[in-house]
Chain A
Amino acid sequence: MTKLCPFPMLSMALAGTWLMLAGFSLPHLVLGSLFAIMIPFVIAPLLGVLPGVRSVIGAMRLTGHVMWDIIVANITVARLVLGPVSRLRPAFVEVPLTATHPYAISLFMSMISITPGSIPLALSPDARTLLVHVLHVEDEEVFVSNVKERYERPLMEILEC
C-alpha cells in the first residue's frame, strides 16, 4: 500500500479536489483516483519531505482564526486607505522565524500575505528571517509577536517538523 500510495494525504486531497471540480459521479471517481495515484509519482522529486499533520482540529481552528483575521484586517485596512494617507506609517519589519520546515515557512508566509496590511517580501538565504512590508505599523515589536503568536506557533503545533 505504501508503494502504491506514498503520499496518502496528498492523494486524498487530489481525489477530493477532482470530485469537487467535476461533480461526484462514478466515472469521475475512477478518473480522480487514477490522478490521485499517478500525480504524486510524477511530482515526488519536487516535494521534498512532506510534514505530517498532527492535529486536524488544530488545523481547522487555525483556518477559522485566519478567516476571522482576514475580515477584521480588511475592515481596518479599508479605513486606513480611505482615511488620510499621509498619516500611514509603512515599514519593513524583520520577523525572526522559529519554524524551519520549508512547508511551515511557506504556509506562514501565505497566511501573512492573505491577511491584508502585511506582505512578506523576502526570505533571508539561511531561512531564519522574513522581511515583511506592513502598510501601517504602530509598534514593530507588537506586530512581530502578534504574527508569531497567532500563526507560527499554532502552525508548528499542527505540523510534525
Chain B
Amino acid sequence: MLDFLVSILLLVGSFFIVVGAFGLVRLPDFFMRLHGQTKSTTLGVGSFLLASVVHTVDGGFTLQELLIALFLFITAPVSAFLLGQVGLQRHVPSRAPLPEDFPGLRHEPMDLPSRARPASHPGD
C-alpha cells in the first residue's frame, strides 16, 4: 500500500518536472521560460520529497525532507529574481511589452560584447 502511494507521488512529481522542461522548449521568450524553473522546484520536487517521507516512514521519521523543501523555497526565488534582473537590464526580446518607465531600470539596451574581451592592463 505504501509502495503504491510512493509510486503515485513519484509519477506526479515526474509529470510536473517534465511539464516544466516542456515549457522551457515550447514557451517563446526568456521571461516566460523563467516560469518553468519555479514550477519544477515547487510541486515536482515537493512530490518527490513527500514520496521520500512516505518511503522512510516505517524506518524512523526524519525531517530532512522538510529542510530540503525549505532551502529550495528560500533559494529558488533568488535565482529567478537575478535571472529576471539580467533579462530586464539587457532588454531581451519579450512577448509582453517591456516596462519602459519602471524606476531603477536602464532605458537603453546595454551594449555588452557577447564574449568577454581580455581586460586591458593600465601598465601596458
Contacts and interface: CB of A to CB of B under 8 A. Distances in A.
Contact of B85 (A78, A116, A122, A125): A122
Interface of B: 15-16, 19, 22-23, 26-29, 31-32, 34-36, 38-39, 41-43, 46, 62-64, 66-67, 73-74, 76-77, 80-81, 84-85, 87-88, 94-99, 102-105
Given A20-B63, A20-B64, A113-B80, A71 B103 contact: no
Given A20-B67, A91-B96, A116-B35, 10 more contacts: A81-B26, A82-B22, A114-B73, A114-B76, A117-B35, A119-B84, A120-B84, A122-B105, A131-B102, A133-B34
A44 B66 CA distance: 26
Interface of A: 17, 20-21, 23, 70-71, 74, 77-78, 81-82, 85, 88-92, 94, 109-110, 113-117, 119-126, 129, 131, 133, 135
A122 B27 contact: no
B19 A114 contact: no
Contact of A110 (B32, B73, B88, B97): B73
A48 to B, nearest CB: 17
Contact of A124 (B16, B34, B96, B102): B102
Contacts, number: 116
B38 A116 contact: yes
Nearest to A126: B103
Contacts of B76: 113-114
Contacts of B77: 109-110, 113-114, 120
A114 B75 CA distance: 10
15 contacts: A21-B67, A71-B43, A78-B15, A90-B32, A92-B96, A92-B98, A113-B77, A114-B42, A115-B42, A116-B35, A116-B39, A116-B43, A120-B84, A122-B85, A124-B103
A74 B42 contact: yes
Given A70-B43, A81-B27, A133-B96, A109 B16 contact: no
Contacts of B84: 119-122, 133
A72 to B, nearest CB: 10
